[in-house]
Structure formats: C-alpha cells, structure tokens
Structure 1
Amino acid sequence: MKFRIIILLFACTIFFSHSVMAKSQSTMKELNHLADEALQLTKFGRFEEAKNLLEQFGELFAKQGPSSNTLTMDELRVVTAVHHEALNSLTSMTLSHEDRVKRVTAFRLATDAISSQYQPLWFGMEDTIIGSFQNVKNAALEGDTVLYNEALNDFLATYAIIQPSLKIDLSVEEVQKLDSRITYIDRYRSSFADQTWLKELEQIEKELKSLFSGINDDNTDPSIWWVIMMTGGIIVTTLSYVSWRQYRGEKKFKKSSKKRRI
C-alpha cells in the first residue's frame, strides 16, 4: 500500500509540474508573438496597431508573465523599462521611423531573452554591432573628428538595441564593465586621437566579440532533462524500496528458520 502511495505522489508531482511548465511556455509563446507582431507593424509604419499590441503585451505580462516564469526583479525591471520605451516611441511626435523601429526591436530582443536559453535573437546582431564599432576604430585611425563622432553616435544607437537583452542574459559585472568603457569613450570624445585611446577601442572591440562567443549549441529542451531526472528519481526510489522489502523478507525468513531449528 505504501509503495502505491509513493508512486501516486510522484505521478501527481510530475503531472502538476508539467502542467505549470506547459502553461508558462504557452504564456511566453503568446508574449513573444505579440512582441514580434508589434515589431513587424512598426517596420511598416502602422504605429497605432503596434501600440495596441504592446498594450496587450503589458496587460498579459502583468497578469501572468512574472509569476509564470519566475523572473528576477532585475529582469522584471528591464522588461518593464524597455516595454515602456517602446510604447512611448510609438506615440512620440519627434522620433523618426528608424528610431521607433530600433526601440521596438530592443523590446522584441529583450522579450526573447527572458524565454530563450539557447541562441537568443540578439546574437543575430553580431555583424551589425561589430561592423558599427569597426567604423569607429577606422575613423579614429584616420583622425577625422566629424567622421569619428558620426560613427560613434551610430554605434551607440546600435548598441542600445541589444543592451536590455545583455542585462537579462549576462551577469551584472559583465554588463557594467562594458558599459563603463563605452560611456568613457562617449564622454571624452576629444581624446580619440591619442595612442592610448586606440588601445581602449581595441579592448572594447575584444569585449564586444566575447559577447557573441558563448553560443550554446545544445538545443535540447531543458524540460526533457527535467523529466529524465524525475523519472530517474522514481526508478531509484522504486528499486530502493523493492530492495528494502526484499531485505526485510529475507531477514524474517532467516529468523523464522532459526526458531524452527530451535
């Protein structure tokens, strides 16, 4: 009887946990769909429709997002902030079409980052980020002040697209280290012609490349490993219980045989 109760409890635990995970995955799938549709509409200049979808996202995220996906407070703040910026960009009268697309893209990448454990969408911007920063280095080498400032402004705007995602996927220390270097070259632009400045740019380039070097090629669904571990736990428990029953049976048999001989 006890053995059956143990198996039943394990089965109920697996069923309940699987149901929670399925609901969580369904919610994130819907959130990602809303974010993606909003981005596509923004690209086509359909700002009012995009705004409506972002508002739907906000309502769903407030009701189910944090509780379903156990987001940390930092992740919650990042997603809330980038969602707010994207929503405001769609109603702004001063932002260009390109700037609106960039802010909604930043929101889309961050939304994906909270749910994707393997190869998040922001990895796809590697060539754009590295190429943009290479233009900064080239302008510095040429000593062209105007070209350097234009290239740096372009890089900063491009980097801002993936920055929210970095805050979600990387450690606070990693992001702060890179951000402090980028802030430094932005604040002291007039020093770009110094030799030490080129070393600083090379270091930033190295750190930017390292961001995209940690792609995990393991595409196995993490839930599969969870099920395997739970199933393995049941098997181990069952075998242990059977062995224990067998041991008790043998012990009683030996004790009974000993009494008969006496």
Structure 2
Amino acid sequence: MKWKAAIFLMIMLVITPVTTLATHHTSSIEKLDQISDEALQLVKSSRYEEAKKLLEYFSDQFLLYTMENHSFSIDETRIVTLAHNEAVEAMSNGTMNHEERINRVTKFRLAIDAITSSNQPLWTGMEGPIMSVFAEVKEAALKGENESFHSQLNSFLSLYEMIYPSMKLNAPVQTVQKIDARIQFIDEYRPQILSDQTSQIELEALEQDLRDLFDQTSEDEADPSLWWVIITTGSIIIVTLSYVGWKKYKGEKEKEREKKRM
C-alpha cells in the first residue's frame, strides 16, 4: 500500500504545477479579455476618463503577459498594440464624438477577443450588419443613386475598418489582401462604379469574398455566453453607421465646395 501511496504522491507533484500553470495562463488570458470588455462598457456610458485609465492598465497587463508567456506572435502584438493606441487616443481626443469613440474601442475589443477566445471570434458575429450595409451599397450603385451610394459606402468602410484588425488576426493573409484590394478599388473609383456596369461586377465579387470570409471563420458555434456581446455591439454599430456615413459624406461635399470657391 505504501508504494501505491508513493506513486500517487509523485503523480500529484508532477501534475499540480502543470495544472496551476494552466489555470494561471487561462485566468491571465481571460483577464485581458475582461479588461477590454469593461473598457467598452465604460465608453458606452461616456465615462471616458475611467475607460482611459482601464486601457492604460490593460497595456501594463498585456506587456506582463507577453513577457511571461511569449504566446503572441510579433504580428499579433503589433496589431493589438495599434488597436489599443487608437482606443487610448479616442479617450484623449476631446473633439471626437461619442459614436466614433465607441467604434475605436469596439475595434480594440474585437481584436483582443480574436487572440484570446477559444471559441468563434466575436467579430464574425458582425456578418449581419456588414452584409446588410453592403447590400444597400450595391442597390444604390445599381440604381445610380449617387448620394445614397456614397453615404452607404462610407458606412460600410467604417464597419470594415472596425473588424479589420480582427480579420488580420484570424483570417488567411491571402483572403484579407484580396478583400482589401477590391475595397480600395471600389472606394477609389466611386464615380466609375456608379456609371459603369462592368465596374459594378466588382461589387458582386466583393460580396462573394465577404461571404467566403465569414464562412471560413464561422465553422464552430460561438459560446452562448458571448452572444450578448455580439448583439450589443452589433446594435450600436447599426444605429451609428448611417450617422457616421452621412456625416462623412457631407464633410467631403463641403470640402469640394470650399475648393471651388478658392
């Protein structure tokens, strides 16, 4: 019986440190994710100073985690750092409106989830809003509705920018580059897209590329406990997209009028 007890003790001595390390690793990852979510909730409530302090605290914890675990690649660290810097800047910019602050911190929140979640990443839950807005872009182009096309395209670009860091973290490089190239073409040659049916084929191609993207990254079901985050974030985006897109369009038209006066 003594030898059985000795073997059991040896097994426990070997397993316990590993288990403790795994628990510490998991809790540290979850802590980073939790901080990013809490920061987003503070921004939604317009508590910008508190959100800024929490984002600065995140920076310290992220640095500590990466030094201890070395589990993030250089690209992952760079992408997260850029998204984090944008979020902090949004909290310090007194001229930035509430909707844009939410967008910046949402971008950061989704990026953190993309590298910490073991389930389906939250950004894939944005498929509905993205495809819905893009359908409006395509419809406006096909009908030749100039003002609506520019407004809806700006809305789509705002939403695309929000999930872009997360895409780069989770999707194949070739897929992201392909979508990027199509979006840049459509944005740069807006008048041509509106007037040329051949160029409008790019809209169809981009729509299919976007569907392929979400299909590739949505094979597993998301954790049910995370769906409230997807729904909440998606609702905010849907409400603010039209406002942001319209404001950007009006700003561009005003700049054009000022140039003509000069």
TM-score between the two structures when normalised by the length of structure 1: 0.76
Q: CA shift at 1:77, angstroms?
A: 0.5
* Aligned pairs (5 A) from 1:50-89: 50-65=51-66, 67-68=68-69, 70-89=71-90
Runs of 4 or more above 2 Å deviation: 5-21, 65-69, 216-220
* Aligned pairs (5 A) from 1:42-191: 42-65=43-66, 67-68=68-69, 70-191=71-192
2:220 alignment partner in structure 1: 217
CA distance in 2, matches of 1:130, 1:66: 39
Q: Which of 199, 219, 228 is matched with 2:201 structurally? A: 199
Q: Which has the higher contact order (CA 8 A, sep 6+)?
A: 2
Which string of whole-angstrom CA distances, capped at 9 and with x for unpartnered residues, describes residues 73-118 of structure 1? 1111000000000110111122211011001001000111101132
Counterpart of 1:156, as a letter, is L
Which string of whole-angstrom CA distances, capped at 9 and with x for unpartnered residues, describes residues 14-60 of structure 1? 54443332211111111111111110110111111111110110110
Which string of whole-angstrom CA distances, capped at 9 and with x for unpartnered residues, describes residues 202-254 of structure 1? 1111111122213233789xxxxxxxxxxxxxxxxxxxxxxxxxxxxxxxxxx
Which string of whole-angstrom CA distances, capped at 9 and with x for unpartnered residues, describes residues 137-178 of structure 1? 011011122211111111000111111100111122211111
CA distance in 1, matches of 2:202, 2:90: 33
Q: Counterpart of 1:196 in 2: which secondary structure? A: coil
Counterpart of 1:96, as a letter, is N
Aligned residues between the structures? 217
1:28–1:65: 8 Å Cα contact kept in structure 2?
no
Summarize the Cα distance change of 1:207–1:43 in structure 2 as closer, same or farther, 3 Å threshold: same
Instruction: Report which stretch shifted further, 144-153 or 71-80.
Output: 144-153
1:24–1:69: 8 Å Cα contact kept in structure 2?
no
CA distance in 1, matches of 2:47, 2:15: 45
Summarize the Cα distance change of 1:66–1:98 in structure 2 as closer, same or farther, 3 Å threshold: farther
Summarize the Cα distance change of 1:116–1:35 in structure 2 as closer, same or farther, 3 Å threshold: same
Counterpart of 2:53, as a letter, is N
Task: Name the % identity.
Answer: 42
CA distance in 1, matches of 2:7, 2:174: 45
CA distance in 1, matches of 2:123, 2:198: 31
2:121–2:222: 8 Å Cα contact kept in structure 1?
no
Q: CA RMSD, aligned part only?
A: 2.3
CA distance in 1, matches of 2:32, 2:158: 25
Counterpart of 1:107, as a letter, is F
